[in-house]
Structure 1
Amino acid sequence: MTPSRRAVLPLLALPLLAQGKPPLRVRPRPGTAALGVRAGPDPAAIAPSAFEVRLIGRGAPSDVVRMESWYGRGRLLGTVSVAGRDLLLIATEGTRGTGVYQEWLVIAGCDDAGVLRVLGIEVLSCREVQGLSGEARLTGGVVARDVGLRVTYQSNRILPLPRREGRPPRMAAPARERWSTFLPWSGAGALPAPASVTTAGPMQRQADATRARVAALLASPVSDLIAIRPGLQEAGLYELGALYPATEPG
């Protein structure tokens, strides 16, 4: 069966979707009526600003998906269909600062119990440029199937070679990785975090380990990411894709 256009959603193209209208109605669970979607900034939040997404209509859950959006770039990108329901794809800022900018892809939806929750968080993109200290870039993609999501990443890192006295600084050849990970999901709990394969490179291992720590935070239903910000920092989400692991969220 050929997947629908909504079922195949490259992350590299997601910002383009933000220029159009977000989905107005979604199917939260199999066999349920469609509900409306309301997404936008939280008017009560001052610093940092916050972005909220909620479902509206008869029988809609009371849960509100909420996250920081320091620059006001939080946005609802679209939906994908998995396990007989529509999942919401939301972008917001992660790490930011001098020479570094990261965006997350927050995947949210209703589980089998009818709870609107965050199911997983992936890095939508991250770029850090620090002159002669190096450069790092991470971009990803996601393809939805009825039984889960396949996430694909590309990493490109350029680091300086050891400095030799009397010689100009030199950069090493780019270290590149590309990999994909399938995240099966049937409607129960959060998205899983499969272990790294034996052939995984260092960036893939870092991504897989970060996903596992984030999944542990989301094991019990979570809709407010601001409330678990310290845990997300400890999980390494703010560092994923940055030049050096010591990068801290701004």
Structure 2
Amino acid sequence: MATYLYAITGADHPLRLNDVAGVGSPAAPLRTVKTKDLCAVVSDAPAELRAKRRDVVAHQGVQERLLADGAALPMRFGLVGPDDEQVVSALEEHRDTYTQRLAETAGCREYHLKVARDEDDLLREIVQESAEVQRLNERTRQNPDAYDDKVALGELISQEVQARQDRARTDIVALLTPAAVRTAAVEPTKRHFLSVSFLVEREKAAAFSEAVHAEAGKRGDAYTFDLHGPLPPYSFV
């Protein structure tokens, strides 16, 4: 029977799991697989598992209960091992890494921040501040057939967009990093120039959130800050 994994904890975790259940229909009973130092919270894996709301909520519910009582490394939804013996082997093989991660994430939650900027606002700023963009823009207006100038204008604007997004990304992350234990960059989306996760101590969560909202207010309506959390520390496992 394949083994479904929810989280890894230390062997001394209280593991209060009596009133939570696992994925599947009917819900799979939870159990633990232990070594001397570590514990994996698992269940039998359903024959078919899809990211249905009920199963996702059950998966997260197990993790939230564990995190409420101590450090836990949350596994991604859908992680399945061949059997309990293989889970034990993994715990033993990666004991030092898991122990270190548990120490790092103890008392912390993840906050994920995405930032976007209105494209028209960014282009207006580039045109206003770049004399070369202004020059090329004027030349292409006067001569619509100036192909080389159009190409040069497009390349210059693209470079300016990238440079300004890079600068904003660096500034925002540098401002917020002191309030976090660790950061983990995520590949930006087409819309968001910044996507990053912060590992934040619980007692500093309010200050971190205030810092994000203060930076959003300072940058104005052209920027959209989307902050999600607190979350299980998926990005730091």
**What TM-score comes out, normalization by structure 1 length?**
0.31
- In our comparison, the structure showing a higher alpha carbon Rg is 2
More strand by share: 1
More helix by share: 2
